[in-house]
Amino acid sequence: MKKIIVFFILLPSFLFAQEKGTFDYNIGAGVFNTNFLIDVTSHVLTEVVTLGGVENSRAVLRTPAFNATFKYAVGNNWFVNADGVCEFAKYDLLDKNDVVVGQEICSYYNIGVGTEYHYLNEKIIQLYSGGAVGYTFRTSRVKDTIKNNAHFNFQMNLIGVRIGKKFAGTFELGAGYKGLVNIGLSYQP
C-alpha cells in the first residue's frame, strides 16, 4: 500500500518531465568564479613570495561571468549542453608605496560542454544538478604588452532551480567558470 501511495505522490514529477528531443536556451551572469579565484590567488602569492618587492595590483572593475547555454534533452530529464562565458577585469598596478603606475586589462573567454539531470519536474518548477568541462582563454594587456594564456576549467552545479513554464528564471549554486552563484533566464520552446 505504501508503494502505491508513493507512486501517486511522485507521478506528477514524471508527467511534466523534459522529454527527449526538447531544447533549452539560457543566458545568465555569475559571480565568484574560478577565473576570479585564480587572479586573486596569483596576485596575493606574488605579493607574499616577493615580500612586496614587485608591483601590486588592486581591482578597479570586474564584470560578472556572462554566459549563454544551449541544452538538448538526449533522454527524459537528461540534457547535454554547450556553453560560452565571457568576463572582463581592470586592475590598477601599484608600486611599493601604493601609487598607481599603470593598468592591466584582462578578458576571459570560456567554452564548455556538459550534462545535467532534472530530478524534479513539476509544472512550473524544475530542480537539477550537473557538470561541465571547459577551456578558458585569458588575454592580459599592460600598456602595449599583450599576454595570452589558457587553461582547462570546470563547472559543477550542485543545485539548479528553474521557475516558470516556457520562459523562466534560473538560479544555480555551484563552483567553476560560471561562478559560485549564477542567475539567469531560460526559454524552453
Is 5 contained in some domain? Answer: no
Q: The domain that contains 178 carries what CATH number? A: 2.40.160.20
Q: Identify whether the C-beta of residue 83 lies closer than 8 Å to the C-beta of residue 132.
A: yes
pTM: 0.81
Q: Which three cell numbers stand for residue 77?
A: 530529464
The list of the chain residues with pLDDT below 50 reads 1, 3-17
Is 168 contained in some domain? Answer: yes
Distance CA 117, CA 178 (A): 18
Is 128 contained in some domain? Answer: yes
pLDDT of residue 2: 52
Distance CA 142, CA 55 (A): 12
Decide: helix, strand or coil at residue 13. Answer: helix
pLDDT of residue 93: 81
pLDDT of residue 131: 97
pLDDT of residue 96: 75
49: left (phi over 0), alpha (psi -120 to 50) or beta: alpha
Is 2 contained in some domain? Answer: no
pLDDT of residue 9: 42
State the DSSP string of 98-130: --EEEEEEEEEEEEEEEEEEEEEE-SSEEEEEE
Is 4 contained in some domain? Answer: no
Q: Identify whether the C-beta of residue 67 lies closer than 8 Å to the C-beta of residue 27.
A: yes
Is 47 contained in some domain? Answer: yes
Structural domain for 47, as ranges? 11-187
Tally of domains within the chain: 1
